[in-house]
Chain A
Amino acid sequence: DADVTQTPRNRITKTGKRIMLECSQTKGHDRMYWYRQDPGLGLRLIYYSFDVKDINKGEISDGYSVSRQAQAKFSLSLESAIPNQTALYFCATSDLGGGYTFGSGTRLTVV
Protein backbone atom coordinates (compact mmCIF):
# COMPACT_ATOMS: atom_id res chain seq x y z
CA ASP A 1 0.00 0.00 0.00
CA ALA A 2 1.14 3.53 -0.72
CA ASP A 3 2.41 5.62 2.19
CA VAL A 4 0.09 8.48 1.22
CA THR A 5 -3.18 7.48 -0.42
CA GLN A 6 -5.49 9.91 -2.17
CA THR A 7 -9.03 9.17 -3.23
CA PRO A 8 -10.46 9.52 -5.76
CA ARG A 9 -7.70 9.43 -8.41
CA ASN A 10 -9.91 11.16 -10.95
CA ARG A 11 -13.17 13.02 -10.59
CA ILE A 12 -15.41 14.97 -12.90
CA THR A 13 -18.01 17.11 -11.18
CA LYS A 14 -20.46 19.83 -12.10
CA THR A 15 -20.26 23.48 -11.20
CA GLY A 16 -21.86 24.15 -7.83
CA LYS A 17 -21.46 20.64 -6.47
CA ARG A 18 -19.75 19.90 -3.17
CA ILE A 19 -16.83 17.53 -3.44
CA MET A 20 -14.43 16.03 -0.95
CA LEU A 21 -10.94 14.76 -1.68
CA GLU A 22 -9.53 12.39 0.89
CA CYS A 23 -6.00 11.69 2.00
CA SER A 24 -4.72 9.07 4.39
CA GLN A 25 -1.15 8.26 5.38
CA THR A 26 0.75 5.47 7.06
CA LYS A 27 3.97 7.46 7.54
CA GLY A 28 3.12 8.51 11.06
CA HIS A 29 3.88 12.12 10.15
CA ASP A 30 2.17 14.92 12.03
CA ARG A 31 2.42 17.42 9.17
CA MET A 32 0.04 17.19 6.24
CA TYR A 33 -0.55 19.46 3.26
CA TRP A 34 -2.88 20.00 0.33
CA TYR A 35 -1.48 21.48 -2.88
CA ARG A 36 -2.91 22.18 -6.29
CA GLN A 37 -0.98 22.08 -9.52
CA ASP A 38 -1.95 23.92 -12.67
CA PRO A 39 -0.19 23.49 -16.01
CA GLY A 40 3.01 25.54 -16.23
CA LEU A 41 2.84 26.60 -12.59
CA GLY A 42 4.54 25.34 -9.48
CA LEU A 43 2.53 23.65 -6.75
CA ARG A 44 0.54 26.06 -4.65
CA LEU A 45 -0.32 25.43 -1.02
CA ILE A 46 -4.02 25.36 -0.16
CA TYR A 47 -4.02 24.31 3.51
CA TYR A 48 -1.65 22.66 5.92
CA SER A 49 -1.87 21.05 9.32
CA PHE A 50 0.95 20.44 11.77
CA ASP A 51 -1.14 18.26 14.05
CA VAL A 52 -4.75 17.21 14.58
CA LYS A 53 -5.77 20.47 16.28
CA ASP A 54 -3.80 22.72 13.94
CA ILE A 55 -5.21 23.97 10.62
CA ASN A 56 -3.62 26.77 8.62
CA LYS A 57 -4.51 28.53 5.39
CA GLY A 58 -2.03 28.43 2.57
CA GLU A 59 -1.64 30.91 -0.26
CA ILE A 60 -4.83 29.91 -2.13
CA SER A 61 -7.36 28.76 0.47
CA ASP A 62 -10.39 30.67 -0.84
CA GLY A 63 -13.10 28.28 -2.00
CA TYR A 64 -11.62 25.35 -0.07
CA SER A 65 -11.94 23.92 3.43
CA VAL A 66 -10.18 21.08 5.20
CA SER A 67 -10.72 18.66 8.04
CA ARG A 68 -8.04 16.80 9.99
CA GLN A 69 -10.04 13.89 11.31
CA ALA A 70 -7.04 12.06 12.77
CA GLN A 71 -3.28 12.13 12.54
CA ALA A 72 -3.53 9.93 9.48
CA LYS A 73 -6.41 11.64 7.67
CA PHE A 74 -6.66 15.06 6.06
CA SER A 75 -9.53 15.82 3.70
CA LEU A 76 -10.04 18.74 1.33
CA SER A 77 -13.50 20.02 0.42
CA LEU A 78 -14.73 22.25 -2.34
CA GLU A 79 -18.03 23.56 -1.00
CA SER A 80 -19.30 24.78 -4.38
CA ALA A 81 -16.99 23.72 -7.18
CA ILE A 82 -16.21 26.14 -10.01
CA PRO A 83 -14.43 25.48 -13.32
CA ASN A 84 -11.22 27.31 -12.34
CA GLN A 85 -10.76 24.74 -9.58
CA THR A 86 -10.01 22.20 -12.30
CA ALA A 87 -6.50 21.07 -11.42
CA LEU A 88 -4.32 18.27 -10.13
CA TYR A 89 -4.47 18.08 -6.34
CA PHE A 90 -1.76 16.60 -4.17
CA CYS A 91 -1.73 15.61 -0.55
CA ALA A 92 1.66 15.43 1.14
CA THR A 93 3.13 14.68 4.54
CA SER A 94 6.42 15.70 6.06
CA ASP A 95 8.51 14.64 9.00
CA LEU A 96 10.28 16.96 11.40
CA GLY A 97 13.46 16.56 9.38
CA GLY A 98 11.71 18.08 6.39
CA GLY A 99 11.38 15.02 4.18
CA TYR A 100 8.19 15.02 2.12
CA THR A 101 6.05 12.17 0.84
CA PHE A 102 3.40 12.83 -1.79
CA GLY A 103 0.23 11.07 -2.75
CA SER A 104 -0.38 10.11 -6.36
CA GLY A 105 -2.64 13.06 -6.97
CA THR A 106 -6.32 13.60 -7.72
CA ARG A 107 -7.20 14.95 -11.13
CA LEU A 108 -10.32 17.06 -10.68
CA THR A 109 -12.35 18.46 -13.54
CA VAL A 110 -15.20 20.87 -12.88
CA VAL A 111 -17.57 21.24 -15.83
Chain B
Amino acid sequence: KNEVEQSPQNLTAQEGEFITINCSYSVGISALHWLQQHPGGGIVSLFMLSSGKKKHGRLIATINIQEKHSSLHITASHPRDSAVYICAVKGSNYQLIWGAGTKLIIKP
Protein backbone atom coordinates (compact mmCIF):
# COMPACT_ATOMS: atom_id res chain seq x y z
CA LYS B 1 0.00 0.00 0.00
CA ASN B 2 1.34 3.40 -0.96
CA GLU B 3 2.00 5.85 1.84
CA VAL B 4 0.12 8.57 -0.06
CA GLU B 5 -3.09 7.68 -1.85
CA GLN B 6 -5.06 10.05 -4.03
CA SER B 7 -8.60 9.68 -5.28
CA PRO B 8 -9.94 9.70 -7.82
CA GLN B 9 -7.15 8.87 -10.27
CA ASN B 10 -9.09 10.51 -13.09
CA LEU B 11 -11.90 13.03 -12.97
CA THR B 12 -13.86 14.57 -15.82
CA ALA B 13 -16.36 17.31 -15.07
CA GLN B 14 -18.27 20.08 -16.78
CA GLU B 15 -17.26 23.70 -16.55
CA GLY B 16 -18.68 25.32 -13.43
CA GLU B 17 -18.79 22.19 -11.32
CA PHE B 18 -17.38 22.03 -7.80
CA ILE B 19 -14.37 19.70 -7.76
CA THR B 20 -12.97 17.70 -4.85
CA ILE B 21 -9.74 15.71 -4.93
CA ASN B 22 -8.78 13.64 -1.93
CA CYS B 23 -5.46 12.64 -0.40
CA SER B 24 -4.94 10.14 2.39
CA TYR B 25 -1.61 9.32 3.95
CA SER B 26 -0.37 6.74 6.41
CA VAL B 27 2.76 8.35 7.85
CA GLY B 28 3.40 11.11 10.33
CA ILE B 29 3.93 14.36 8.53
CA SER B 30 5.16 17.86 9.17
CA ALA B 31 3.43 19.35 6.15
CA LEU B 32 1.33 18.48 3.12
CA HIS B 33 1.71 19.99 -0.33
CA TRP B 34 -0.73 20.29 -3.19
CA LEU B 35 0.85 20.85 -6.59
CA GLN B 36 -0.45 21.27 -10.11
CA GLN B 37 1.21 19.76 -13.16
CA HIS B 38 0.23 21.28 -16.45
CA PRO B 39 -0.14 19.27 -19.65
CA GLY B 40 3.23 20.61 -20.77
CA GLY B 41 4.84 19.03 -17.71
CA GLY B 42 5.64 22.02 -15.49
CA ILE B 43 4.89 21.70 -11.78
CA VAL B 44 3.56 24.55 -9.68
CA SER B 45 3.19 24.52 -5.93
CA LEU B 46 -0.37 25.45 -4.92
CA PHE B 47 -0.47 25.03 -1.17
CA MET B 48 1.61 23.91 1.75
CA LEU B 49 -0.37 23.28 4.90
CA SER B 50 0.05 21.60 8.24
CA SER B 51 -3.37 22.31 9.74
CA GLY B 52 -6.76 23.76 8.95
CA LYS B 53 -7.59 25.35 5.67
CA LYS B 54 -6.05 27.62 3.04
CA LYS B 55 -7.70 29.47 0.19
CA HIS B 56 -6.27 31.02 -2.93
CA GLY B 57 -8.71 32.30 -5.49
CA ARG B 58 -11.00 29.44 -6.48
CA LEU B 59 -8.80 26.84 -4.81
CA ILE B 60 -9.30 25.64 -1.25
CA ALA B 61 -7.17 23.09 0.58
CA THR B 62 -8.07 21.48 3.88
CA ILE B 63 -6.29 19.03 6.10
CA ASN B 64 -7.41 16.85 9.00
CA ILE B 65 -4.32 15.72 10.85
CA GLN B 66 -6.19 13.26 13.08
CA GLU B 67 -7.76 11.51 10.11
CA LYS B 68 -4.60 11.85 7.95
CA HIS B 69 -6.63 13.26 5.12
CA SER B 70 -6.56 16.33 2.93
CA SER B 71 -8.84 17.64 0.23
CA LEU B 72 -8.33 20.08 -2.61
CA HIS B 73 -11.45 21.86 -3.82
CA ILE B 74 -11.93 23.91 -6.96
CA THR B 75 -14.98 26.14 -7.13
CA ALA B 76 -16.52 27.27 -10.42
CA SER B 77 -14.18 24.99 -12.38
CA HIS B 78 -12.90 26.12 -15.76
CA PRO B 79 -11.21 24.29 -18.65
CA ARG B 80 -7.93 25.99 -17.75
CA ASP B 81 -8.03 24.06 -14.46
CA SER B 82 -7.42 20.87 -16.45
CA ALA B 83 -4.18 19.44 -15.12
CA VAL B 84 -2.78 16.74 -12.89
CA TYR B 85 -3.08 17.58 -9.20
CA ILE B 86 -0.51 16.01 -6.93
CA CYS B 87 -0.49 15.57 -3.18
CA ALA B 88 2.86 15.19 -1.43
CA VAL B 89 3.62 14.88 2.27
CA LYS B 90 6.77 15.77 4.12
CA GLY B 91 7.65 12.95 6.47
CA SER B 92 9.98 12.68 9.41
CA ASN B 93 13.09 12.61 7.22
CA TYR B 94 12.06 15.93 5.64
CA GLN B 95 11.71 14.34 2.21
CA LEU B 96 8.53 14.51 0.18
CA ILE B 97 6.46 11.38 -0.38
CA TRP B 98 4.43 11.80 -3.52
CA GLY B 99 1.00 10.64 -4.53
CA ALA B 100 0.50 9.41 -8.07
CA GLY B 101 -1.69 12.38 -8.99
CA THR B 102 -5.26 13.00 -10.08
CA LYS B 103 -5.84 13.87 -13.71
CA LEU B 104 -8.59 16.46 -13.97
CA ILE B 105 -10.33 17.36 -17.22
CA ILE B 106 -12.86 20.18 -17.26
CA LYS B 107 -15.05 20.22 -20.35
CA PRO B 108 -16.50 23.49 -21.65
By a beta-carbon cutoff of 8 Å, the part of chain A in contact with chain B is: 40-45, 48, 58, 88, 90, 92, 97-102, 104-105, 107
In the bound complex, residues from chain B placing their C-beta under 8 Å from that of A100 are 33, 35, 45, 48, 96
Contact A48 B95, CB 8 Å, known A41-B100, A104-B42: yes
- The answer to whether B48 and A98 have CB atoms under 8 Å apart is yes
B72-103: CB near A (< 8 Å → 1, else 0) gives: 00000000000000101010000111111100
B61 in the interface, Cβ–Cβ < 8 Å?
no
The proximity string for B residues 1-14 relative to A, scoring 1 for CB distances below 8 Å and 0 otherwise, is 01010000000000
Chain A residues whose CB sits within 8 angstroms of the CB of B4 once the complex forms: 42
Please, how many residues of chain B have a CB less than 8 angstroms from a CB on the other chain?
23
Is B27 positioned at the interface, with any CB of A under 8 Å from its CB?
Answer: no
Q: For the complex, give the distance between the alpha carbons of A36 and B45 in Å.
A: 17
B41 & A107 in contact (Cβ 8 Å cutoff):
yes
CB-CB nearest in chain A for B2: A42
A104 touches B99 (CB 8 A): no
* Cβ-defined contact, B45 with A99, below 8 A: yes
Q: Are B41 and A88 in contact (CB under 8 A)?
A: yes
Bound-complex Cα distance A15 to B7 (A): 37
Set of chain A residues within 8 Å of B98, measured between Cβ atoms: 42-44
Collect the chain A residues with CB atoms within 8 Å of residue B35's CB: 100, 102
Q: Which residues of B have CB within 8 Å of A40? A: 100
Q: List 20 A-B contacts (CB under 8 A).
A: A42-B4, A42-B98, A42-B100, A43-B96, A43-B98, A44-B98, A45-B95, A45-B96, A48-B95, A58-B95, A98-B31, A98-B48, A98-B90, A99-B45, A100-B48, A102-B45, A104-B41, A105-B41, A105-B42, A105-B43
